[in-house]
Amino acid sequence: MLSFIFAFDESEIKMMGYTHSLSAAATWLALVHHGVVPITDHPTIFVTTLACAGAGMLPDIDHRNGTIARSIPPLSGWICAVVQRLSGGHRQGTHSFIGVGIFWALALSSPHYLWWGVPWLSIILVAYAGGLALRTFGAPGGWLGAVAVASFTYYSSQPIEFFPLVIGVGSSVHILGDALTRRGVNLLWPLTIKAPISSIFWKKSGNMALPILGASGSRREQFLAVALMLYIVWVFISLSGFFEW
């Protein structure tokens, strides 16, 4: 499982995909641990963490050759191409304050979209995110996993409102992660305020960054990925009641 972290010949996008998923999952678990998201039953914690890992890749729906574009061809490729065009290109609209607002609006409003009493939008969002995470980590079963996540979400005794929160959390963590890389993001989209003097924090392209991770796929990012994975494993072991924390 660790092989991907040390696979230096991986493409930049793929490497970032793993880190985005791990950081989203770790953030979700931290929120659950501290009671911000009041989920207590273990299966729901597991499923929502998985879905949050997938949601951690959602802002890259603006990339017509990325993981999301290849997820359910040809439909996903068409959607990504449209989003890429509407959002001004990669790391623009979907990686901005407006993008964060849209992801959160989707997360918070989806439980209210009902069809015969079924919160279909929440179920689709959570199931897609869960399936995306399973594909990212190379789990067997493909999209069958997404069907399992969908039925779990539908039949869970936990309030449906908790589930789509993963969309808001995962996408926000993604944008923060990209902002920590050298390329940065255009947080103010659709405004593009070009830096009068280009620096690592504010570029002529208008992108802003706090590049403590360096370039995408850097050693620092790989270190972070390992640390996040250890944290996730530690929390799951703790939750199993193996030791007190």
SS3 assignment, position 8: coil
User: For residues 59 and 111, which CB has a smaller minimum distance to Zn ion in the complex?
Assistant: 59
User: For residues 178 and 221, which CB has a smaller minimum distance to Zn ion in the complex?
Assistant: 178
Backbone angles phi and psi of 208, in degrees to 5: -120, 145
User: For residues 39 and 187, which CB has a smaller minimum distance to Zn ion in the complex?
Assistant: 187
Binding to Zn ion (CB under 5 A) within 155-214 occurs at: 178
Which run of H or of E encompasses 85? helix 75-86
Task: Give me the least distance between CB of 113 and Zn ion, in Å please.
Answer: 26
Task: Give me the least distance between CB of 169 and Zn ion, in Å please.
Answer: 15
221 belongs to the binding site for Zn ion (CB under 5 A):
no
User: For residues 13 and 30, which CB has a smaller minimum distance to Zn ion in the complex?
Assistant: 13
Question: In 10 A of CB 78, how many CB atoms?
Answer: 12
Task: Give me the least distance between CB of 151 and Zn ion, in Å please.
Answer: 30
**Cα separation, 55 vs 233, whole angstroms:** 19
Name the segment binding Zn ion (CB under 5 A); options: 53-61, 78-86, 102-110, 195-203.
53-61
- Which residues, listed in sequence order, are joined to residue 181 by a DSSP beta bridge? 214
60 belongs to the binding site for Zn ion (CB under 5 A):
yes
Tracing tokens 């990325």 back to the chain, one arrives at 66
Task: Give me the least distance between CB of 53 and Zn ion, in Å please.
Answer: 15
Task: Give me the least distance between CB of 60 and Zn ion, in Å please.
Answer: 5
Contact 103, 24 (CB under 8 A): no
**Cα separation, 82 vs 174, whole angstroms:** 20
Question: In 10 A of CB 195, how many CB atoms?
Answer: 14
User: For residues 160 and 175, which CB has a smaller minimum distance to Zn ion in the complex?
Assistant: 175
Q: How many residues bind Zn ion (CB under 5 A)?
A: 3
User: For residues 187 and 235, which CB has a smaller minimum distance to Zn ion in the complex?
Assistant: 187
DSSP letter at 64? T
62 belongs to the binding site for Zn ion (CB under 5 A):
no
Task: Give me the least distance between CB of 70 and Zn ion, in Å please.
Answer: 15
DSSP 94-162: GGSHHHHHHHHHHHHHGGG--BTTB-HHHHHHHHHHHHHHHHHTT-TTTTHHHHHHHHHHHH-SS-GGG
Residues in the site for Zn ion, rule: CB under 5 A?
59-60, 178
